[in-house]
Amino acid sequence: MIFVIGGAGFIGSSFVRKIENPVIYDKLTYAGRMENINDVKHIFIKGDVSSPELEESIKKYRPEIVVNFAAESHVDRSINNPYNFINTNINGPVNILENQRKYDFKYVHISTDEVYGEDMADENACLDPSSPYSSSKASADLFIKSYIRTYDVNTLIIRPSNAYGVRQYPEKLIPKAIIRSILKMEVPVYGTGNQVRNWIYVDDLVNVIKDLMINGKKGEVYNIAGNNMKTNMEILEMIGKYIDVKIKYVHDRPGHDRVYNMYNTKLNYNITPMEDGIKNTVEWYKNNRWWWEPLINDRYFSDDEPWHIKI
């Protein structure tokens, strides 16, 4: 049995569509929504990854594999309130590791390319995080490595590049740009818009994660790069082929990394051409207003410089 933590979020909800009858454990914070998984056959438990109640669910279902997608993941939010990121992104994985010591399951941890910072990075590169978000993810990775060495737990780390696709919360660049353009609003662009990211379509990503869930080796780190190096402006130009995009330049994010250039040395997998992935994504948001209309009052969707928001 597969126990998926954070399975109601963006990547998690795409992943649970690839497996049979998962147990989904999710806190249902702003980005984790039942609307994402109502069409998936599953067992659902509402819970916090850092809570002692996690053990009750693991003890009850005794999973063979635990896959952890649960994370606070938006850099702007981490600048405003780092504490939430410490609790979910560090204490949560440590809680899973402690349960792993007791109940002996395989743990697949989903990290991020942002732990490497701006340097070109393979799986052996040093970690150099730049934001509270990436620092929290790097901290979890280091805890995992220490548990593997100290307790010999069966754990592996997956570091994807920037994912995009359907059911992504509109705080992120691509859904935010699409939805604001549908609503004929300007799309805020940080600085010059020349920040470079390596993009991967979410269906491609979860297919690789599913394979690694079975075949990934204990103690290994796996980078999943999308091999689509694009600036933010290039992304908006691609979206602009399918919907009119109006741009508004705003002050750059504090500590903003200029480029993420992670690559993998261990895996071969299929990649959806970005033109096709963007077209599919735009069409989904056009045809599923019911999904995103309740979200447009989120201040990270409507505010141009969200790190200025007072907490």
What amino acid positions are annotated as catalytic residues?
A: 113-114, 133
Q: Name which of 40, 220, 18 is nearest 26 in CA terms.
A: 40
CB 111 within 8 A of CB 157: yes
Expressed in angstroms, the distance from the first to the final Cα of the chain is 41
- φ, ψ (nearest 5 deg) of residue 120: -60, 130
Residue with tokens 């100290």: 150
**Exposure letters 81-90 (e unless 16+ CB within 10 A, then b):** ebeebbbbbb
In angstroms, the CA 260 to CA 199 distance is 10
Residue 32's Cβ-side half-sphere holds a number of Cα atoms within 13 Å equal to 23
**What's the token pair of residue 44?**
């659902």
Longest CA pairwise span in the chain (Å):
55
